[in-house]
Amino acid sequence: MKYIQEAFDTNWIAPVGPNIDAFEHEIGTYTTCKQVAALSSGTAALHLALILLDVNRDDIVLCQSFTFSASANPIIYQNATPVFIDSEESTWNICPNALEEALKYYCQKGKKPKAVIGVHAYGMPCRLEEILYLCQKYDVPFIEDAAEALGSTYKGIKLGSFGDMGILSFNGNKIITTSGGGALLSNQETFISRAKFLATQARDEASHYEHSQIGYNYRMSNVCAGIGRGQLEVIEERVSQRRTNFEFYKQNLQDLPGLSFQNELPESFSNRWLTTILINPEIANGIDREYIRLKLAEENIESRPVWKPMHLQPVFKDALYFGGMVSEEFFRNGLCLPSGSDLTHNDLIRVCQNIQFCIEKNYKFI
Ligand SMILES: *Cc1c(COP(=O)(O)O)cnc(C)c1O
């Protein structure tokens, strides 16, 4: 409220002002990323990243299939061609083998992809070492979609800072929010200064309104940046609340037959934005994720199927795909459990007991 009040008191009710500068600085410090542009959304940040990498009509962009549609939509905004890549079993994120297959295929065809978009789904760090190695080997820039992963780390370093460019989202559903907003991160100054230029209608230097390029209205407002500054002060608390949810679910559900979780690699730390489970009906006494979802709904507990992979979406039905059935199986068997930062101990007990009751009526609750 202090930062928002300041914005009103000083009349900086605009997509420019001291909260924006400070928020960018604070995000940069937090993620150890040199340059930050605060924007109107994570989607806008991804769109600008593609523009800055000169992605144009018919260019190939490789993108993790198991994600929210916002990861892929900006490829279409640029009239480029998305090619979707399967996930691997442990992190649920982009599979290095499938990625290399695609990189090799397009490079041999003389159609080197313009970018790879990898995602840290539900806050879980992807296999960054292998992915970055492949991007370097084939000389393709990596865009790190860290929209869900603020506060997560890989080898002790905050996510969002690993890609040639990284993006964050501060949409209302994310771990911290500015109501709506996002950021583009990079260690390359030219990317971020150009992003800020393009995000403010690409106005050339002149006393009148001069334009030599197409611009966008993608800047964050100074009021929203004030919300972001306040939110960033509680990020560690939020991460700890989310991780406590996960630990509770794991403790109480991991021994159920056929039930498993998304795994951290030894070198990674997830913010556990959402706790997600897989239910294998062949082992879980014939119980599937939809049965559990509907049973929870009867108890007024909302849970949701995990992301439907992009290569299965009607809107991307013509897109090419590299990989197998891994992400498809996540979609068939995966469920997002209630994961809010404000869940009480009793809420968590109630969710666990209902899931246990679905699978094993005489399961002993810890
Ligand atoms: C939320 C989200 C985005 C888009 O962010 P917005 O701020 O909502 O535009 C992009 N990618 C992923 C993986 C997301 O979850």
DSSP state of 215: -
For residue 154 the two structure tokens come to 């890989």
Query: Contact 154/268 with Cβ under 8 angstroms?
Result: yes
Res 364: pLDDT: 56
Evaluate: CB of 24 within 6 angstroms of ligand 1. Answer: no
Evaluate: CB of 71 within 6 angstroms of ligand 1. Answer: yes
Domain residue spans of the chain: 2-232, 235-359
Res 360: pLDDT: 83
Evaluate: CB of 93 within 6 angstroms of ligand 1. Answer: no
The structural architecture, per CATH, of the domain 2-232 is 3-Layer(aba) Sandwich (3.40)
Cα(308) to centroid of ligand 1, in Å? 15
How far is 343 from 364, CA to CA, in rounded Å?
23
* Spacing of C-alpha 296 from chain mean position: 26
Evaluate: CB of 166 within 6 angstroms of ligand 1. Answer: no
How far is 253 from 238, CA to CA, in rounded Å?
23
Atom in ligand 1 nearest the alpha carbon of residue 148: 15
Q: Please list, in sequence order, all residues whose beta carbon lies within 8 angstroms of the beta carbon of residue 245, skipping any fewer than 6 positions away.
A: 272, 275, 337, 338, 339, 340, 343, 348
Res 363: pLDDT: 55
Smallest Cα–Cα separation from 45: which of 24, 19, 14?
A: 24
Res 148: pLDDT: 98
Residue to mutate, 40, 64, 71, ligand 1, most ligand atoms under 8 Å from C-beta: 71
Cα(347) to centroid of ligand 1, in Å? 27
Evaluate: CB of 68 within 6 angstroms of ligand 1. Answer: yes
Res 189: pLDDT: 97
Q: Which residues of 143-154 are buried (b: 16+ CB within 10 A; e: fewer)?
A: bbbbbbbbbbbb
Atom in ligand 1 nearest the alpha carbon of residue 181: 7
Atom in ligand 1 nearest the alpha carbon of residue 121: 13
Smallest Cα–Cα separation from 47: which of 77, 68, 24?
A: 77
pTM here is 0.97
Evaluate: CB of 145 within 6 angstroms of ligand 1. Answer: yes
Cα(115) to centroid of ligand 1, in Å? 18
Cα(149) to centroid of ligand 1, in Å? 10
Evaluate: CB of 144 within 6 angstroms of ligand 1. Answer: no
Res 366: pLDDT: 52
Q: What is the pLDDT of residues 94-144, one digit of tens each?
A: 999 999 999 999 999 999 999 999 999 999 999 999 999 999 999 999 999
Res 156: pLDDT: 98
For residue 111 the two structure tokens come to 């159609």
Q: What is the pLDDT of residues 179-229, one digit of tens each?
A: 999 999 999 999 999 999 999 999 999 999 999 999 999 999 999 999 999
The structural architecture, per CATH, of the domain 235-359 is Alpha-Beta Complex (3.90)
Return per-residue pLDDT of the chain as tens, 366 residues. 999 999 999 999 999 999 999 999 999 999 999 999 999 999 999 999 999 999 999 999 999 999 999 999 999 999 999 999 999 999 999 999 999 999 999 999 999 999 999 999 999 999 999 999 999 999 999 999 999 999 999 999 999 999 999 999 999 999 999 999 999 999 999 999 999 999 999 999 999 999 999 999 999 999 999 999 999 999 999 999 999 999 999 999 999 999 999 999 999 999 999 999 999 999 998 999 999 999 999 999 999 999 999 999 999 999 999 999 999 999 999 999 999 999 999 999 999 999 999 998 655 555
Cα(179) to centroid of ligand 1, in Å? 13
DSSP state of 61: E
